Amino acid sequence: MMAEGGGGPARRKALSLLEAARSRYESLQISDDVFGESGQDSSGNPFYSTSADSRSAASSQDEEDDEEDEGRPGAPSPRGRAARRRSPRAAATPAERRRQRQVCGGSAVPGGPGPMEEEEEEAEKGGWTRSLRDVPPPPFKDGSGPTRKMPLTASAMDFFQLFVPDNVLKNMVVQTNMYAKKYQERFGSDDAWIDVTLTEMKAFLGYMISTSIHHCESVLSIWSSGFYSNKSIALIMTQSRFEKILKYFHIVAFRSSQTTHGLYKIQPFLDSLQNGFDSAFRPSQAQVLHEPLIDEDPVFIATCTERELRKRKKRKFSLWVRQCSSTGFICQIYVHLKEGSGADGLDALKNKPQLHSMVAKSLCQNASGKNYIIFTGPSITSLNLFEEFEKQEIYCCGLLSTRKSDCTGLPPSMLNNSETPQSRGQYRIRMKGNMSLICWYNKGHFRFLTNAYSPVQQGVIIKRKSGEIPCPLAVEAFAAHLSYICKYDDKYSKYFISHKPNKTWQQVFWFAISIAINNAYILYKMSEAYHVTRYSRAQFGERLVKELLGLEDTSPSH
């Protein structure tokens, strides 16, 4: 560890590596400034290390975990946990790690594809060849960025209502009142109930969103006398009135006779939210498919007891997103319900690549014809899916795992390890049409499948301890975007609504609201209004809560 005030050669070298990493991030369309409040190194990335300081790997971890932690500053965080969950190095047990080592590698000449090796004596099958050719990058056919210019005086509420406008809130008012009436007709009248109004519905949302700003375990803590009490907003609505609205709150009060989908109570809101995302923003060329961190609030996880954790019901759905890598804007949401133990259940989704392929197709259904580059994890990466996407002018770059990925059509010689000792930076490449299969070694074997990057283009992974490690450009690009996913999980947790309802549709609703707030802040940071008020992420959330509660002027500004 370097001394903080030192100016020796080691510090100068670290700073030069930091500048080199930042410049490469910019070339790969990664924008920390737009994302908001990025630290000096908030990546949690097993590939990149752009910080001058680094913690040493824990002695209790094996060689694979040492490599994952190398160059990561500080103690484990929600971001770091997300990195471990998505890292190509993460394995639950030593037996699984041994299996992964048995199927994840090969040998090559340091720094590039070497001469032909004896381990591949059989003829290449399926059209894969060692002969490499340059593949031009797909030209981007669409513009990117916000579609609407917001005025200098635009408030937090103005940005939030790009996705949750008044007509959606009014529908919540109507449906909640309808449900309350029907409920009382069936179970008896409730003399304390009065029909909710639009102002009260906004206040109701404001109270819920405030739990993400103050990270309190229960929204009812606002009216308590404890640590999380908030007298400044508690006077807007009584606790009993809030609980009544919470009891009857609905988006769709009744099931239609033709409705069979399990998300019928939330689907109209999700459709409206998606329309808002599509109309407010055009994503950049590079995008990521992944699961955001939605299991629990990281602050709560760090403080609650094991008994409280056991009380948590297992989540009955899986939420996936397509995210713009340049800004962090969520372009599309896909919710997969666990509707039993059949083939369409969540348990099957976690184990069957074909169901993850279905998720990817759903997320990219509006992305065809624009030459987007989609980054995927091992569960989605497959040759058949990438070839299908290429026909739709969607290009991909994904991490490949023989345990999680569908390896149909891939040459077995690239999926087996060699007993020959490896050096960091060695790699092998096979090519089929525009598709490249890369096996790269960095204290472990990593495999990538891509048709978005040329196999002859060189890249570099920058490590504080090891300096520059050569790799194909596709590996460098994937490393940068893996870092971005980890960074997003940390930023997204700033707007994690702590309310934990039992009903699945309500869980989906509050997660969707959290994503809408995060998208609203991203648009705010890209607008001229940011240069006037310059709210931080937390300040933007506090401002939105006050405006929903009517504590700030929300008169129309556009």
281-333 residue pLDDT tens? 999 999 999 888 765 544 444 555 555 555 455 678 888 999 998 888 999 99
> What is the per-residue pLDDT for 12?
64
Range of the domain at 190: 150-256+497-549
Q: Identify whether residues 483 and 501 lie together within a single domain.
A: no
Q: Who has greater pLDDT, 467 or 136?
A: 136
In this prediction, residue 252 has a pLDDT band, given cuts at 50, 70 and 90, of very high
> What is the per-residue pLDDT for 237?
94
Contacts of 449 (CB under 8 A, 6+ apart): 381, 382, 383, 386, 396, 397, 398, 400, 410, 435, 436, 437, 438
Q: Identify whether residues 437 and 467 lie together within a single domain.
A: yes
In this prediction, residue 403 has a pLDDT band, given cuts at 50, 70 and 90, of confident
> What is the per-residue pLDDT for 55?
32
> What is the per-residue pLDDT for 69?
38
Strands, DSSP E only, in 176-280?
none
> What is the per-residue pLDDT for 114?
47
> What is the per-residue pLDDT for 354?
72
> What is the per-residue pLDDT for 467?
81
Question: Does residue 37 come out as left (phi exceeding 0), alpha (psi in the -120 to 50 range) or beta?
Answer: left
- In a domain? residue 334: yes
Average of pLDDT values for 496-520? 88
> What is the per-residue pLDDT for 342?
46
In this prediction, residue 73 has a pLDDT band, given cuts at 50, 70 and 90, of very low
Contacts of 37 (CB under 8 A, 6+ apart): 491, 536, 537
In this prediction, residue 238 has a pLDDT band, given cuts at 50, 70 and 90, of very high
Average of pLDDT values for 191-203? 96
Q: Identify whether residues 480 and 525 lie together within a single domain.
A: no
Last residue of a domain, one of 469, 493, 517: 493
Q: Identify whether residues 452 and 516 lie together within a single domain.
A: no
> What is the per-residue pLDDT for 262?
77
- In a domain? residue 429: yes
Q: Under a CB-based contact definition with an 8 Å cutoff, are residues 29 and 23 in contact? A: no
> Which residues in 48-63 are b (16+ Cβ under 10 Å) and which e?
bbbbbebeebeeeeee
Average of pLDDT values for 142-169? 95
Contacts of 81 (CB under 8 A, 6+ apart): none
Last residue of a domain, one of 461, 478, 493: 493
- In a domain? residue 303: no
Q: What is the DSSP secondary structure assignment for residue 437, as one 8-state letter?
A: E
Q: Who has greater pLDDT, 145 or 118?
A: 145
> What is the per-residue pLDDT for 294?
64
Q: Under a CB-based contact definition with an 8 Å cutoff, are residues 485 and 377 in contact? A: no
Q: Identify whether residues 355 and 470 lie together within a single domain.
A: yes
Is the per-residue pLDDT at 157 higher than 90? Answer: yes
Residue 291: what are its φ and ψ, rounded to 5°? -100, 120
Lowest mean pLDDT among 83-97, 116-130, 349-363: 83-97
- In a domain? residue 139: no
Closest among 480, 517, 381, 507 to 24, alpha carbons compared: 480
In this prediction, residue 82 has a pLDDT band, given cuts at 50, 70 and 90, of very low
Lowest mean pLDDT among 203-207, 437-441, 513-517, 550-554: 550-554
Q: How far apart are CA 492 and CA 290, in angstroms?
A: 13
- In a domain? residue 68: no
Q: How far apart are CA 445 and CA 407, in angstroms?
A: 16
Lowest mean pLDDT among 207-216, 251-260, 464-473: 251-260
Is the per-residue pLDDT at 215 higher than 80? Answer: no
Percent of the chain topping pLDDT 70:
67
DSSP helix/strand/coil, 358: helix
> What is the per-residue pLDDT for 541?
92
- In a domain? residue 502: yes
Lowest mean pLDDT among 45-59, 176-190, 451-465, 544-558: 45-59
Count up the domains in the chain and report the number.
2
Q: How many CB atoms lie within 10 A of CB 265?
A: 22
- In a domain? residue 57: no
Using alpha carbons only, give the angle 542, 545, 550 rounded to the nearest 5 degrees: 125
Q: Identify whether residues 501 and 484 lie together within a single domain.
A: no
Q: How far apart are CA 389 and CA 372, in angstroms?
A: 10
Lowest mean pLDDT among 306-310, 353-357, 367-371: 306-310
The amino acid at residue 283 is P
Q: Under a CB-based contact definition with an 8 Å cutoff, are residues 395 and 374 in contact? A: yes
Average of pLDDT values for 404-430? 87
The Cβ-side half-sphere exposure at 1, using a 13 Å CA radius, reads 10
**Average pLDDT along the chain:** 76
Last residue of a domain, one of 470, 493, 516: 493
Using alpha carbons only, give the angle 85, 90, 93 rounded to the nearest 5 degrees: 115
In this prediction, residue 20 has a pLDDT band, given cuts at 50, 70 and 90, of low
Q: Under a CB-based contact definition with an 8 Å cutoff, are residues 327 and 526 in contact? A: yes
Q: Under a CB-based contact definition with an 8 Å cutoff, are residues 110 and 441 in contact? A: no
Average of pLDDT values for 14-32? 53
Q: Identify whether residues 420 and 324 lie together within a single domain.
A: yes
Average of pLDDT values for 518-535? 94
Q: How far apart are CA 500 and CA 212, in angstroms?
A: 12
Q: Identify whether residues 456 and 521 lie together within a single domain.
A: no
- In a domain? residue 190: yes
Q: How many CB atoms lie within 10 A of CB 111?
A: 15
Average of pLDDT values for 123-139? 84
> What is the per-residue pLDDT for 325?
87
Average of pLDDT values for 26-50? 40
Q: Identify whether residues 396 and 537 lie together within a single domain.
A: no
> What is the per-residue pLDDT for 68?
36
Question: Does residue 507 come out as left (phi exceeding 0), alpha (psi in the -120 to 50 range) or beta?
Answer: alpha
Residue 543: what are its φ and ψ, rounded to 5°? -65, -40
Q: Identify whether residues 328 and 199 lie together within a single domain.
A: no
Lowest mean pLDDT among 41-55, 244-258, 380-394: 41-55
Q: How far apart are CA 383 and CA 116, in angstroms?
A: 24
Closest among 390, 392, 371 to 382, alpha carbons compared: 390
Greatest mean pLDDT among 91-100, 108-117, 501-510 lies in 501-510
> What is the per-residue pLDDT for 304?
53
Using alpha carbons only, give the angle 122, 124, 126 rounded to the nearest 5 degrees: 135
Average of pLDDT values for 451-474? 88
Is the per-residue pLDDT at 413 higher than 80? Answer: yes
**pTM exceeding 0.85:** no
The total number of residues shown for the chain amounts to: 558
Q: Under a CB-based contact definition with an 8 Å cutoff, are residues 349 and 315 in contact? A: no
Is the per-residue pLDDT at 275 higher than 80? Answer: yes
Is the per-residue pLDDT at 247 higher than 90? Answer: yes
Q: Identify whether residues 241 and 285 lie together within a single domain.
A: no
Is the per-residue pLDDT at 121 higher than 70? Answer: no
Q: Identify whether residues 364 and 426 lie together within a single domain.
A: yes
Average of pLDDT values for 86-112? 40
